[in-house]
Chain A
Amino acid sequence: MTNPAIRFEKVSRHFGEVKAVDAVDLEIGDGEFFSMLGPSGSGKTTCLRMIAGFDRPTSGQIFLYGQEVSSLPPFERDVNTVFQDYALFPHMTIDDNVAYGLMIKGVPKAERTKRVNDMLDLVQLPGFGHRKPSQLSGGQRQRVALARALINHPKVLLLDEPLGALDLKLRQQMQVELKSIQQRVGITFIFVTHDQEEALTMSDRIAVFNQGKIEQIGTPSEVYEKPATSFVAGFVGTSNLISGEVAKRITGSDKTFSIRPEKIYLGPGADKPSENKYSATGTVRDVIYLGLYTRYLVDLEDGGDLVVIEQNLKTTSMDVLNARGQKVCLSWEKDHISRVGG
């Protein structure tokens, strides 16, 4: 029976009246790529800082592979952090930055040099060792920060929105690279982000944070397809939430449910009624042509509205824009809805 990499037991962190983290329970498995996803101020970064040791819980306990660490200072914890602003030492060369942890531990110089070179190879920056951080681009600094943390073989690597400052292309490239590096080194990664796409791309599991609490923990597909709460449904991707009278007319139950826009089939006339489908009719109020797909906003006859996304498989921009004001019939699989609480 192996211990989980990280375990939170009723961990709270209050700043005065503000409950930044509120009685969070959490388990992160060994070797997992785990993302903490949430809007700013949701408590995800505070959780990360408490694992690193920069912040201490007001109450509760944090275990690192079974060892209670919540009162240990950062330099006595076997975890390393990749900072949002990279926090590279500006007065040191890249070599010295990457070697810093080893230098502190007193690793002999020859071994240090070898391991630094291996690490710079891993992050694809060979030969950059003699430069200063100011001579590197944002993406390169990002890799150095990663190398500086990984060289110490930490039990857990913490990444605090490390891709936030990069442009879209570079970010997508780094997402793939981070994932592959994680699989190669086999270290538990805990990744904090507010970008749901980033979390869905890389993670084994995701915890969705809101107002100091975890709303849902699950695999990317679980979180996306079966959001547990209306907050998750709204924060992870776009979602239609239907509740009350309207829900009752469509499904026969007034419980709130969510349906993803891309799961809805939009047709000109009434679809043949089916056992395993829900359907509704309405009028197209707005059409937004986005090249790859088209987004429709449909006013339902039963009240409320739905966002529908259709791939432009056979349609052209002329076709879709003409749909405005047309009567349409919407239908979707019963399996694709998700009952949400709250």
Chain B
Amino acid sequence: MNRLSAFFFQRPKLVTLLLLALPMLYMLVVYLGSLFSLLINSFYYLEEFTGLVVKEFTLSTYAQLLKPTNLGIFRRTAGMAMAVTMMDAVIAFPLAYYIAKFASPRLRTYLYIAVTLPLWSSYLVRVYAWKLILSKEGILSWFVDLFHLNPALDWVLSIPGIGGSSLSLSPLGMFIAFCYIWLPYMIVPIQTALERVPKSLLEASSDLGARPAQTFRNVILPLAFPGVVAGSIFTFSLTMGDFIVPQSLGTSRFFIGQAVYSHQGTSGNIPLAAAFTMGPVVIMIVYLLIARKLGAFDAL
């Protein structure tokens, strides 16, 4: 036994290799492998008459993405993802700031649990809960009625592109549900980033004459920015790929997730579904490159 321990102790590289072998195998074969197969499939095409996938290299599947309806799907999904990301950042920042800098250690634990608690329940349950809350007979309408705010709600619902016949059947309702569901993914990284900012930096800024607003702009915000970017990667990509929320709430107009779902399912057009999926992947890569250019990862 001792000799075995000594054997490994003298070969730290071998130990690292043994520890990493399984996860590396998984990463390479299952994870990257399936991504690669996705990429390959997106360059095949579906033969219209036979309904069979032809395994020949072509860009025609990608050309299909440029059809106005499909471009609309991309625009709609990306717009929603951007709006949700921005709203979540705005809501999450003050919450994360309070948790990281003001709450006592005890309270911090409770708040941390409160933030992550919704993640313990099923995602489907939460989406359906929102469907009920936002529906015409739901509790929100009841409150609107109670405070005689019906004209205001009607006005909001009449705005084209946002409104609909009811909150649950409008893009606005979908937006509300998305914001709620992904909020923890924004709070946690921002809070982590803020916790890593030593108190002495804030004191130093104040000591050098900066008012709280100036300290926020010059010190807190730049140092928390990597956290915001990390959070936005979650909220943005999760919204881009989701198909449950657009299916349960909102209008009948497709989002990327729904398009992928229907193309690989009913129509069996795997190449087009794969091409649709590559969209968010490319968008995320571009987003990360821009974030790096803006210096979001400099303080990491």
A interface residue numbers (CB < 8 A to B): 52-54, 73-75, 79-81, 83-85, 87-91, 100-101, 104-105, 148-149, 152
A73, A91, A148: the one contacting B208 at CB < 8 Å is A148
Q: Which residues of B contact A75 (CB under 8 A)?
A: 206-211
Q: Are B209 and A87 in contact (CB under 8 A)?
A: no
B198 on interface, CB distance cutoff 8 Å: yes
Residues of A within 8 A of B207 (CB): 52-54, 74-75, 79-81, 149
Residues of B within 8 A of A100 (CB): 205, 208, 210, 218
Using CB atoms and an 8 Å cutoff, list the residues of chain B in contact with chain A. 198, 200-201, 203-211, 214, 218-219, 222-223, 298-299
Inter-chain contact B209/A105, CB cutoff 8 Å: yes
Q: Is the CB of B209 within 8 A of A152?
A: yes
Residues of chain A within 8 A (CB-CB) of B219 are 89
The smallest C-beta distance from A174 to any residue of chain B, in angstroms, reads 19
Report the minimal beta-carbon distance from A173 to chain B, rounded to whole angstroms: 24
**How far apart are B224's CB and chain A's nearest CB, in angstroms?**
11
Contact B208 A104 (CB under 8 A): yes
24 pairs, CB–CB < 8 Å, chain A vs chain B: A52-B207, A53-B206, A53-B207, A54-B207, A73-B206, A74-B206, A80-B207, A81-B203, A83-B200, A85-B200, A87-B203, A88-B204, A89-B201, A89-B204, A90-B299, A91-B222, A91-B223, A100-B210, A100-B218, A101-B209, A104-B208, A104-B214, A149-B207, A149-B208
CB A71 to nearest CB in B, in angstroms, measures: 15
A62 → chain B closest CB, angstroms: 16
> Would A90 and B223 be within 8 Å (CB), given that A75-B209, A75-B210, A101-B209 are in contact?
yes
Within the assembled complex, what's the spacing in Å between the Cα atoms of A53 and B210? 13
Specify which chain B residues have a CB less than 8 angstroms from the CB of A101 in the assembled complex: 208-209
With A74-B207, A89-B204, A152-B208 already in contact, 11 other A-B pairs whose C-beta atoms are closer than 8 Å: A54-B206, A75-B207, A75-B211, A80-B207, A100-B208, A100-B218, A101-B208, A104-B209, A104-B210, A104-B218, A149-B208
| Most interface-central of A53, A75, A85 (chain B CB within 10 A) | A75
Chain A residue nearest to B299 in the complex (CB) = A91
Q: Counting chain B CB atoms within 10 Å of each CB, which of A79, A88, A100, A152 scores highest?
A: A100
- From B198, B200, B209, B211, name the one whose CB has the most chain A CB atoms within 10 angstroms: B209
In the assembled complex, the CB of A279 is this many whole angstroms from the nearest CB of chain B, namely 54
- Identify whether the interface residues of B are mostly helix, strand, loop, or mixed: helix
User: How far does the Cβ of A339 sit from chain B's closest Cβ, in whole Å?
Assistant: 42
Closest to B215 in A: A75
| CB neighbours of A152 from chain B (8 A) | 208-209
Identify the interface centre among B205, B208, B214: most chain A CB within 10 Å of its CB: B208
CB-defined contacts of B203 to chain A, threshold 8 Å: 52, 54, 74, 81, 83, 87
Q: Taking CB as reference atom, which chain A residue is nearest B200?
A: A87
Distance in Å from the Cβ of A145 to the closest Cβ of chain B? 8
Q: How far is the CA of A182 from the CA of B4 in the complex (A)?
A: 62
Shortest distance from the beta carbon of A206 to any chain B beta carbon, whole Å: 24
Measured between alpha carbons, how far is A83 from B208 in the docked complex, in Å? Answer: 12
Q: How far is the CA of A54 from the CA of B200 in the complex (A)?
A: 10
Q: Give the complex CA separation of A32 and B223 in angstroms.
A: 37
User: Which of A79, A89, A101 has the largest number of chain B CB atoms within 10 A?
Assistant: A89
Chain A residue contacts of B208, Cβ below 8 A: 75, 80, 100-101, 104, 148-149, 152
The docked-state distance in angstroms from the alpha carbon of A326 to that of B42 is: 97
Contacts of A81 in B (CB 8 A): 203-204, 207
> CB-nearest residue of chain A relative to B197?
A90
Complex alpha-carbon distance, A88 and B219, angstroms: 11
Contacts of B210 in A (CB 8 A): 75, 100, 104
Q: What's the minimum C-beta distance from A142 to chain B, rounded to whole angstroms?
A: 14
Q: How far is the CB of A37 from chain B (nearest CB, A)?
A: 22
CB–CB A83/B204 < 8 A: yes
Give the distance in Å from the alpha carbon of A87 to the alpha carbon of B199 in the complex: 9
Kindly provide the distance from the CB of A116 to the nearest chain B CB, expressed in whole angstroms.
13
B298 touches A91 (CB 8 A): yes
| Bound-state Cα–Cα, A81 to B209, Å | 11
* A105 cross-chain contacts in B, Cβ below 8 A: 209
Residues of A within 8 A of B209 (CB): 75, 101, 104-105, 152
| Residue contact A85 to B206, C-beta cutoff 8 Å | no
Q: B211 to chain A: which residues have CB within 8 Å?
A: 75
The residue of chain A having its C-beta at the shortest distance from the C-beta of B295 within the complex is A91
CB distance from B284 to the nearest CB of A (A): 25
A84 neighbours in B (Cβ, 8 Å):
200
Residues of A within 8 A of B218 (CB): 89, 100, 104
Q: Which residues of B contact A54 (CB under 8 A)?
A: 203, 206-207
Chain A CB within 10 A, most for which of B198, B210, B214, B222: B210
Residues of B near A80 (CB, < 8 A) are: 207-208
Chain B nearest CB, measured from A23 CB (Å)? 26
Expressed in whole angstroms, the minimum distance between the Cβ of A112 and any Cβ of chain B is: 13
A75-B216 Cα distance, complex, nearest whole Å: 14
Question: B residues within 8 A CB of A91?
Answer: 222-223, 298-299
Check if B198 sits within 8 Å of A87, measured CB to CB: yes
**B-chain residues with CB within 8 Å of residue A104 when the two chains form the complex:** 208-210, 214, 218
Q: Which residues in A have their C-beta under 8 angstroms from that of B200?
A: 83-85, 87
Set of chain A residues within 8 Å of B223, measured between Cβ atoms: 90-91
In the A-B complex, the 4 residue pairs with the closest CB atoms: A87-B204, A87-B200, A101-B208, A74-B206
